[in-house]
Chain A
């Protein structure tokens, strides 16, 4: 049972990682990051069955932080979109020397 859960979790995490690396749309990259977080949540829940209830508690924390992060991240993306009329991250490279 654990093997299947962890395999699913790893697959989801790799999909999320690839999404972050190859996609240029900020919204999609953002969703991929959510995917990575939920892959980790899945692994935590699976482990909690063998190790203890702490894993499930941790999942609640991750979900709370993810919700907050989604609120802030989406707000930033919206304000960027209002300014540039695009959310393609290739256009945003001001944060350098």
Chain B
């Protein structure tokens, strides 16, 4: 992590001071201001472009680029400033001995009956890690975007959405109660929708945005129901009170807590793309590639993992839900990894890889290793953001090369790439670092986090549901090996072998500008050193002989202890402390060594095998057959959903429209009107316009009343 050296600079051994938050509101406010500034610019640019279209000239040569300098300054600038404020807070918290979260309340948001919700931010060790990732990695991606999006006419609009996203993401991780978190939760969903459909003139891309939004709604329904249940059970929605009261108010393994956590997990599965709601994430790759890096790899999709870690006390009280979380996580990881093996779109491979890695994070939080889930979330943010940005650089170069010769080949299809390493050396090297990191090769970041997950999954087998967790552990190991295979395949197809772009196009291939490569290099450094914030003590002791000498030995574990302590306590109390051995014997060092050796062997083997593949450009490629077609078509899950979910819903909607709405409701309304008109027409017959008739009726009426009164 970036902060390890910084913390060394600050004086050691100082008395633990009380932590005073430094301008916490500014962290959230800065990106919001950036959004307003860029949004106003974008509206002006849009109005001017619309006027130009009306006037008849739609040529890009008339583009007004003057505003882009301001956007370049403000867009990444506000996130960078926000990162600086986060760093100041981190420095304060690092030296303080903070046990309880610091809640900064700004105003009373809503008071209705028994429900009182404050607009409050919660600063603690967990939200600190999340803020560092969101603003730090987010800043690098903003900088990268300056290069990637520079020629886009929607430049200001892009940065306004991106700033808005960072704002909502910070609200999500800083919210001190379920409703405030939900505001951020919905907000990031909105920004995700806006950015997936950023090029909304392309019907397919606009549809991808809608798909993401609709699938997420299913998850949001779960979040809402969980929130209602929490309120009924606790009478409050503020995090500190709920988590403090939970062990006393809720029965261990009871129906209430199981329902709450399962609904929460439904929300998490929607946001974090887990079975059965993962289908939106691959389609979300329709957005600009830096968006995929920021939202659909590093931050938003990890919100589900963050939420489970945040509510760890509730999940610890519900062993069934925890097992479900772990099982769904592993199955998602395995399924997505198999699909990634056979995809040709470079971003699709990375999307399935992201789903797979998110599955790992859920496995971690499902087996009670909450800090490990956050650890993998952090390292994954580094190397997956790097992979996406690298693929962005590749697509950028491919786009320019194909544009130069007016070729209509797909710039994202790896079958059209090959041999890019000579023209893009920086991208090539940094992406290899990320590949080795995600494959879990020692000593890169992914090794430490992924190995901890698999280790804890193995340990869980010694407590509850031994058979289930043994299976999950084996599947997690298998998925780790698949990761090595599909990532190596991606690297070889993209960067090695013969060039398949065509000779004329190859001359146009070039390395990305420095504004794009510097974020790549910084993320590569993070991908190398990121894992060292949490070297397992056992590994540090036996392999490195450094037990205690390394200041980072299990640093993250201890850092997050105030958050996870009560959840861990509950688990130990009911499940017993797990034995310190994997299901089939062997210590952490043995299995870590075995898995890294296996991953390395597979990387080398795949690289050698892939070098001999006969890859042809996409236009000439045959349709995949057999198992490969099953994987290429993503196990036909989208088709299955279409047949059994989308079509029935459409049919039901059509029924509601054609029968219930058009016939029943419209019929009732129109029928009522008809009856009124017919009645009026009938009654109007009595109105003859003849004065004598009226006089007669009047007289008869008076006589009738008189008769009634007298007799």
- A residues lining the B interface (CB < 8 Å): 17, 20-21, 24, 29, 89-90, 92-97
Task: Report the separation of the CA atoms of residues A97 and B689 in the bound assembly, to the nearest whole angstrom.
Answer: 8
Q: Looking at the complex, which one of B688, B695, B696, B699 makes contact with A96 (CB distance below 8 Å)? A: B688
- Interface positions, chain B 681-705, Cβ under 8 Å from A, are 684, 687-692, 695-696, 699
A94: chain B residues within 8 A (beta carbon): 689
Q: Are the C-beta atoms of A93 and B696 separated by less than 8 Å?
A: no
| Minimal beta-carbon separation of B705 from chain A (angstroms) | 15
B687: chain A residues within 8 A (beta carbon): 96-97
The 6 listed contacts between A and B (C-beta, < 8 Å) are A20-B695, A24-B692, A89-B690, A93-B690, A96-B684, A97-B687
Task: Report the separation of the CA atoms of residues A89 and B691 in the bound assembly, to the nearest whole angstrom.
Answer: 7
Q: Looking at the complex, which one of A17, A20, A29, A97 makes contact with B684 (CB distance below 8 Å)? A: A97
B702 and chain A: residue at smallest CB distance: A17
A90: chain B residues within 8 A (beta carbon): 690, 692
Count of chain B residues with Cβ under 8 Å from any Cβ of A?
10
| Minimal beta-carbon separation of B691 from chain A (angstroms) | 5
Q: Looking at the complex, which one of B684, B688, B689, B695 makes contact with A21 (CB distance below 8 Å)? A: B695
Q: Looking at the complex, which one of A17, A20, A24, A96 makes contact with B689 (CB distance below 8 Å)? A: A96
| Minimal beta-carbon separation of A85 from chain B (angstroms) | 19
B688: chain A residues within 8 A (beta carbon): 93, 96
| Minimal beta-carbon separation of A81 from chain B (angstroms) | 15
Task: Report the separation of the CA atoms of residues A21 and B689 in the bound assembly, to the nearest whole angstrom.
Answer: 15
Task: Report the separation of the CA atoms of residues A13 and B696 in the bound assembly, to the nearest whole angstrom.
Answer: 15
Task: Report the separation of the CA atoms of residues A54 and B223 in the bound assembly, to the nearest whole angstrom.
Answer: 81
Q: Are the C-beta atoms of B699 and A89 separated by less than 8 Å?
A: no
| Minimal beta-carbon separation of B348 from chain A (angstroms) | 71
- Interface positions, chain B 39-89, Cβ under 8 Å from A, are none
Q: Looking at the complex, which one of B684, B692, B696 makes contact with A89 (CB distance below 8 Å)? A: B692
Q: Are the C-beta atoms of A92 and B691 separated by less than 8 Å?
A: yes
| Minimal beta-carbon separation of B685 from chain A (angstroms) | 9
| Minimal beta-carbon separation of A97 from chain B (angstroms) | 4
Task: Report the separation of the CA atoms of residues A93 and B692 in the bound assembly, to the nearest whole angstrom.
Answer: 10
A21: chain B residues within 8 A (beta carbon): 692, 695-696, 699
B683 and chain A: residue at smallest CB distance: A97
**Taking each of B688, B689, B691, which has the highest tally of chain A beta carbons within 10 Å of its own beta carbon?**
B691
A20: chain B residues within 8 A (beta carbon): 692, 695
- B residues lining the A interface (CB < 8 Å): 684, 687-692, 695-696, 699
Task: Report the separation of the CA atoms of residues A17 and B689 in the bound assembly, to the nearest whole angstrom.
Answer: 19
A90 and chain B: residue at smallest CB distance: B690
Task: Report the separation of the CA atoms of residues A29 and B696 in the bound assembly, to the nearest whole angstrom.
Answer: 13
A96: chain B residues within 8 A (beta carbon): 684, 687-689
A95: chain B residues within 8 A (beta carbon): 689
**Taking each of B684, B690, B696, which has the highest tally of chain A beta carbons within 10 Å of its own beta carbon?**
B690
Supply 19 further A-B pairs (C-beta < 8 A) apart from A29-B691, A94-B689, A96-B688: A17-B699, A20-B692, A20-B695, A21-B692, A21-B695, A21-B696, A24-B692, A89-B690, A89-B691, A90-B690, A90-B692, A92-B689, A92-B691, A93-B689, A95-B689, A96-B684, A96-B687, A96-B689, A97-B687
Nearest 7 A-B pairs (CB), nearest first?
Answer: A93-B689, A96-B689, A97-B684, A96-B687, A89-B691, A95-B689, A20-B695
| Minimal beta-carbon separation of B485 from chain A (angstroms) | 86
A26 and chain B: residue at smallest CB distance: B691
Task: Report the separation of the CA atoms of residues A30 and B684 in the bound assembly, to the nearest whole angstrom.
Answer: 27
A97: chain B residues within 8 A (beta carbon): 684, 687
Task: Report the separation of the CA atoms of residues A19 and B639 in the bound assembly, to the nearest whole angstrom.
Answer: 89
Task: Report the separation of the CA atoms of residues A21 and B700 in the bound assembly, to the nearest whole angstrom.
Answer: 11
| Minimal beta-carbon separation of B513 from chain A (angstroms) | 81
Task: Report the separation of the CA atoms of residues A21 and B696 in the bound assembly, to the nearest whole angstrom.
Answer: 6
| Minimal beta-carbon separation of A21 from chain B (angstroms) | 6
A89: chain B residues within 8 A (beta carbon): 690-692
B681 and chain A: residue at smallest CB distance: A97
A89 and chain B: residue at smallest CB distance: B691
B696: chain A residues within 8 A (beta carbon): 21
Task: Report the separation of the CA atoms of residues A20 and B698 in the bound assembly, to the nearest whole angstrom.
Answer: 11
| Minimal beta-carbon separation of B342 from chain A (angstroms) | 77
Task: Report the separation of the CA atoms of residues A74 and B393 in the bound assembly, to the nearest whole angstrom.
Answer: 99
| Minimal beta-carbon separation of A17 from chain B (angstroms) | 6
B699: chain A residues within 8 A (beta carbon): 17, 21
Task: Report the separation of the CA atoms of residues A76 and B684 in the bound assembly, to the nearest whole angstrom.
Answer: 26
A29: chain B residues within 8 A (beta carbon): 691
Task: Report the separation of the CA atoms of residues A96 and B688 in the bound assembly, to the nearest whole angstrom.
Answer: 6
Task: Report the separation of the CA atoms of residues A92 and B691 in the bound assembly, to the nearest whole angstrom.
Answer: 8
Task: Report the separation of the CA atoms of residues A89 and B348 in the bound assembly, to the nearest whole angstrom.
Answer: 90
A93 and chain B: residue at smallest CB distance: B689
| Minimal beta-carbon separation of A14 from chain B (angstroms) | 11
A24: chain B residues within 8 A (beta carbon): 692
Task: Report the separation of the CA atoms of residues A29 and B689 in the bound assembly, to the nearest whole angstrom.
Answer: 16
Task: Report the separation of the CA atoms of residues A57 and B690 in the bound assembly, to the nearest whole angstrom.
Answer: 36
| Minimal beta-carbon separation of B260 from chain A (angstroms) | 66
Task: Report the separation of the CA atoms of residues A24 and B691 in the bound assembly, to the nearest whole angstrom.
Answer: 9
Task: Report the separation of the CA atoms of residues A1 and B687 in the bound assembly, to the nearest whole angstrom.
Answer: 44
| Minimal beta-carbon separation of A18 from chain B (angstroms) | 10
Task: Report the separation of the CA atoms of residues A89 and B687 in the bound assembly, to the nearest whole angstrom.
Answer: 15
A22 and chain B: residue at smallest CB distance: B692
Task: Report the separation of the CA atoms of residues A57 and B428 in the bound assembly, to the nearest whole angstrom.
Answer: 115
A93: chain B residues within 8 A (beta carbon): 688-690
Task: Report the separation of the CA atoms of residues A17 and B699 in the bound assembly, to the nearest whole angstrom.
Answer: 8
Task: Report the separation of the CA atoms of residues A93 and B687 in the bound assembly, to the nearest whole angstrom.
Answer: 10
Task: Report the separation of the CA atoms of residues A94 and B689 in the bound assembly, to the nearest whole angstrom.
Answer: 6
A17: chain B residues within 8 A (beta carbon): 699
Task: Report the separation of the CA atoms of residues A20 and B689 in the bound assembly, to the nearest whole angstrom.
Answer: 16
| Minimal beta-carbon separation of A50 from chain B (angstroms) | 21
B703 and chain A: residue at smallest CB distance: A17
B691: chain A residues within 8 A (beta carbon): 29, 89, 92
| Minimal beta-carbon separation of B144 from chain A (angstroms) | 76
Task: Report the separation of the CA atoms of residues A97 and B687 in the bound assembly, to the nearest whole angstrom.
Answer: 7
Task: Report the separation of the CA atoms of residues A13 and B448 in the bound assembly, to the nearest whole angstrom.
Answer: 114
B695: chain A residues within 8 A (beta carbon): 20-21
**Taking each of A21, A89, A90, A94, which has the highest tally of chain B beta carbons within 10 Å of its own beta carbon?**
A21
| Minimal beta-carbon separation of B693 from chain A (angstroms) | 9
Task: Report the separation of the CA atoms of residues A89 and B694 in the bound assembly, to the nearest whole angstrom.
Answer: 12
A96 and chain B: residue at smallest CB distance: B689
B700 and chain A: residue at smallest CB distance: A21
